[in-house]
Amino acid sequence: MKEHQVKNPLVATIAAIAIAASSCFIFITPAPLAVVKDDFYGSLSPPHGEDDHPGVGKTEIDVDRAFATFHPDLQEQLNLEEFEIRATEHVGSLARRTVGNWNTSVENDTATVEGCFTGEGAVGDALCRFWLSRENGTWKIVAFRIEDELGSFVGGTIPGSEG
């Protein structure tokens, strides 16, 4: 086999990356969506796996971890004790297995995340909308609205609303 000298290493590197990229898919979750789905909902959902059975295993929710996703202003408006009571009431809607379609809109240092959770123990979908702000590189939830069979679970002042 005859070896060929590479005259332009940059072209060779780009070609190698293009070949590798064409054979795999890379999905990048926007940071605000990760805060909502992984940090907020993840802390309010018991772990699930193939061998899990409803009602077996971890049943407690990690309210402190969910509360940590809130912007300091929201933490003042909705204190930890009040949030724990409301989250416990809505745990059937918050602890979902299946994530529906989500839309994320990011503009500068603000974001809106909206979508739904469906799954175990729920009569219908829980429709959700979160407003986030990025400060010092960290995304925090400034307000949210969750609509489920129990009604509305609202935290913070919804941007564009009065009061």
What pLDDT was estimated at residue 37? 82
Share the mean pLDDT of the chain. Answer: 74
Span 113-123, pLDDT tens digits: 998 876 556 56
What pLDDT was estimated at residue 40? 86
Nearest residue to 44 via CA among 58, 29, 31, 25: 58
Matching residue, tokens 């949210």? 144
Query: pLDDT category, 144, cuts 50, 70, 90?
Result: very high
Q: In the predicted model, is pLDDT for residue 75 greater than 70?
A: yes
| Stated pTM of the model | 0.70
Query: pLDDT category, 130, cuts 50, 70, 90?
Result: very high
What pLDDT was estimated at residue 118? 67
What pLDDT was estimated at residue 107? 92
Give the N- to C-terminal CA distance of the chain in Å, as an integer: 76
Question: Is 30-155 a CATH 3.20.20.70 domain?
Answer: no
Q: In the predicted model, is pLDDT for residue 93 greater than 80?
A: no
What pLDDT was estimated at residue 96? 53
pLDDT average, residue stretch 10-25 = 47
**Half-sphere CA count of 25, side-chain side, radius 13 A:** 2
Count the Cβ atoms, other than its own, within 10 Å of residue 70: 22
